[in-house]
Amino acid sequence: MSPVVYWFAVVIGIAITVFALVGMAAVLVFGERRVLGLLQDRYGPNRVGPFGILQSIADALKLLSKEVFIPPFADIRFYLLAPVLVATSVLVSFVVVPIGPGLSWAADLNVAVLFVLAMSSINAYGVFLGGWSSNSKYPLIGSVRAIAQLISYELSLSLAVMGVVLLSGSFSLSGIVEAQRIPYALLQPVGFVIFLICGVAETHRLPFDLPEAENELAAGFNTEYGGMIFALFFLGEYMAMLLIAALTTTLFLGGWRGPFLPWAGVLWFALKTGAVVLLFYWLRTSLPRLRYDQLITFGWKFLLPLALVNIMVTALLGMFWM
Amino acid sequence: MNVVKTIRQLAGALAVTAKHALAKRPTVQYPDEMPALPARYKGRIVLTRDPDGQERCVACYLCSSVCPVDCIQIQGTEAIEDDRRYPLKFSIDFARCIFCGMCEEACPTLAIQLTPDFEMGAYSRGKMLYQKEDLLIDGTGKHPDYNFYRHSGVPIRGKAIGEAAHEAPPVDPRSNLP
């Protein structure tokens, strides 16, 4: 087909993907509030629409109608750039996630894993810039803590992924899913646990959410943000959670593979990702927040050596196996 | 760091929340479900009538005196036809009322009572000022058999002094006959 039609189709596809992802983030926010209510002996929001499913739309309308107050003491360029960095890096990472056999934008990119890790580093930039450019003490402390946490846990995250790469022999996510006859969670249990813990830390969710804890730092790095800009940060965080769940599914749980019904790949992927997201919600309700020094100690003194040992053991066993 | 102990503690925390997911939630979904209120719940204030159908309030001003926030305003008068006192004007400002029940405790005729009704929302402060026609009800409220004038010595038309229950007729102090 002619290049104009091709590019037009690409743009339409991108628009649909972005809307679908943002919509999924909104559904995740609503789902989190209902599931948290279920686990906490109360109902979540159930007034707006049948069973409260229109709650996210009501929240979106409220955020749209709020004033976007840009503090006069803020560094305006980075203040506006930070939420864009966060949301964009997460959206772009979804390009390489295979949601079904052959169904993705670029899952067979031969450095897909490195691409995702690089995008998560840009996400860390966005979080840090948000707090730094707000030029006020609570966001500053929140963002300094956030960036220290993010870079510490990124190391162990990458090392846990390296174990999977060793087993499957390729960096491309579709290649990793193809190579999983047995889900790698069984072959790499330590790596799976490390990846989950680091994933929770990367999206700064409980028990690792000190950078943005409401009762610690008045909302941390997003204190000075309001209205639609805050909504970008907020949705970026939930899309990052969805991304980590999708990556866990792809790398450790077999992606779109299922024991039966091979044509329902997308369904299996959705089920597994949903289960991981529910695990994230469950962890949020149950576990107390880690203090900052406990968090950094855990990341450097426990997870990093464990991840290194994991890789060495995987490599040794792999040598003997082959 | 004791790994096994930490894992057991984390698993315990996760198990607690999972157990709560299976429990029935105690929330009462108002307004679809109404909460079960006890009969002595201190809600909306009403003025009641006695079993004969006459209003109980005798405008003694005890309730407005004891009210901690001064929300009761009364103007009393006496009826010509049967010598009974009654309130010409009786207003309660529910924007001030704290529903403490002191007026119900102070009332000697059991006229003013607090009922288990809390749905009194209004869209303007003016609507929160209830006059006597908003407060007076047709029933006897919580005490269906009590008529103040049967027990008190106050004379009204049709009952002179000494004709109430448990009362003896007055003694003539000027004669020494029993």
pLDDT tens digits, one per residue of B41-53: 999 999 999 998 9
Is A293 at the interface with chain B, CB within 8 A? Answer: no
Q: Which long-range contacts (CB under 8 A, 24 or more apart) does B115-120 make?
A: B115/B41, B115/B43, B115/B44, B115/B45, B115/B46, B115/B141, B116/B37, B116/B38, B116/B39, B116/B40, B116/B41, B116/B43, B117/B43, B117/B44, B118/B37, B118/B41, B118/B43, B118/B44, B120/B44, B120/B94
Contacts of B29 (CB under 8 A, 6+ apart): A43
pLDDT confidence band for B94 (50 / 70 / 90): very high
B1 with A286: Cβ contact below 8 A:
no
**Residue B130, beta-bridge partner list:** B92
Tell me if ipTM is over 0.90: no
A39 with B10: Cβ contact below 8 A:
no
* Continuous H helices in chain A: 3-39, 55-64, 76-93, 112-134, 137-168, 173-178, 184-187, 189-202, 214-217, 227-252, 265-286, 292-297, 304-321
Cα–Cα distance for residue pair B87/B79, rounded to 1 Å: 10
Virtual torsion, Cα A18, A132, A204, A250, nearest 10 deg: 40
Residue A220 pLDDT: 67
Q: Which residues of B touch A190 (CB under 8 A)?
A: none
Output DSSP code: residue A299: I
* Residue B79 falls inside a structural domain: yes
Cα–Cα distance for residue pair B13/B102, rounded to 1 Å: 48
DSSP chain B: --HHHHHHHHHHHHHHHHHHHHSPP----TTTS-----TT---SEEE-B-TTSSB------HHHHH-TT--EEEEEEE-TTT--EEEEEEEEETTT-----HHHHH-SSS-EEE-S------SSGGGGEE-HHHHB-SS-TT-TT--HHHHS---BTTB-TT-STT-PPPP-TT----
Q: Which residues of A touch B21 (CB under 8 A)?
A: 38-39
Query: Which tens digits make up the pLDDT trace of B125-145?
Result: 999 999 999 999 998 999 999
Is B25 at the interface with chain A, CB within 8 A? Answer: yes
Cα–Cα distance for residue pair B170/B15, rounded to 1 Å: 79
What one-letter code names the amino acid at A292? Y
From B14's Cα to the closest Cα of chain A, the distance in A is 5
B20 with A40: Cβ contact below 8 A:
yes
Residue A128 pLDDT: 87
Mean pLDDT of B107-120: 94
More confident: A218 or B22: B22
From A302's Cα to the closest Cα of chain B, the distance in A is 9
From A304's Cα to the closest Cα of chain B, the distance in A is 15
Is B14 at the interface with chain A, CB within 8 A? Answer: yes
From B20's Cα to the closest Cα of chain A, the distance in A is 6
Chain B residue closest in CA terms to A47: B29
Cα–Cα distance for residue pair A258/A270, rounded to 1 Å: 11
B25 with A283: Cβ contact below 8 A:
no
Cα–Cα distance for residue pair B31/A54, rounded to 1 Å: 20
Residue A229 pLDDT: 83
Mean pLDDT of B20-43: 90
The interface residues of chain A toward chain B in range 39-68, judged by CB-CB distance below 8 A, are 39-43
On whether the CB atoms of residues A131 and A79 are closer than 8 A, the answer is: no
Six token digits for residue A164:
């999977």
Residue given tokens 């999924």 in the structure block:
A24
Q: Which residues of A touch B8 (CB under 8 A)?
A: none
Cα–Cα distance for residue pair A159/A310, rounded to 1 Å: 8
A283 with B1: Cβ contact below 8 A:
no
Q: Which residues of A touch B10 (CB under 8 A)?
A: 287
Residue B77 sits in a domain whose CATH number is 3.30.70.3270
Chain B residue closest in CA terms to A34: B21
pLDDT confidence band for B93 (50 / 70 / 90): very high
Cα–Cα distance for residue pair A298/A143, rounded to 1 Å: 19
On whether the CB atoms of residues A182 and A107 are closer than 8 A, the answer is: no
Q: For the packed helices A189-202 and A265-286, what is the interaxial angle rounded to 10 degrees?
A: 70
Percent of residues, chain B, with pLDDT higher than 70: 99
Six token digits for residue B99:
């529903």
Regions in chain A scoring below 70 on pLDDT: 1, 213-222, 322
* Residue B25 falls inside a structural domain: no
Is A294 at the interface with chain B, CB within 8 A? Answer: no
> Whole-model pTM?
0.85
More confident: A158 or B154: A158
* Residue B55 falls inside a structural domain: yes
Alpha-carbon separation of residue A208 from A14, A41, A221, A233 (angstroms): 33, 24, 15, 17
* Residue B100 falls inside a structural domain: yes
Chain B residue closest in CA terms to A283: B14
Residue B113 sits at φ, ψ, to 5 deg, of: -140, 155
A38 with B21: Cβ contact below 8 A:
yes
* Residue B105 falls inside a structural domain: yes
**Residue A100, beta-bridge partner list:** A103
Chain A residue closest in CA terms to B9: A287
Q: Which residues of A touch B25 (CB under 8 A)?
A: 37-38, 41-43
- Scored b (16 or more CB within 10 A) or e, A253-273 reads bbbbbbeeeeeebeebbbebb
Cα–Cα distance for residue pair B140/B53, rounded to 1 Å: 8
Q: Which residues of A touch B13 (CB under 8 A)?
A: 286-287
Structural domain boundaries, residue B129: 45-151
Mean pLDDT of B72-100: 93
Is B27 at the interface with chain A, CB within 8 A? Answer: yes
Cα–Cα distance for residue pair A185/A251, rounded to 1 Å: 8
Give the closest of B1, B14, B27 to A286, CB-based: B14
Residue given tokens 């269906």 in the structure block:
B144
Cα–Cα distance for residue pair A61/B14, rounded to 1 Å: 35
From A190's Cα to the closest Cα of chain B, the distance in A is 13
Indicate whether B89 pLDDT > 70.
yes
Cα–Cα distance for residue pair A183/A177, rounded to 1 Å: 9
Domain count for chain B: 1
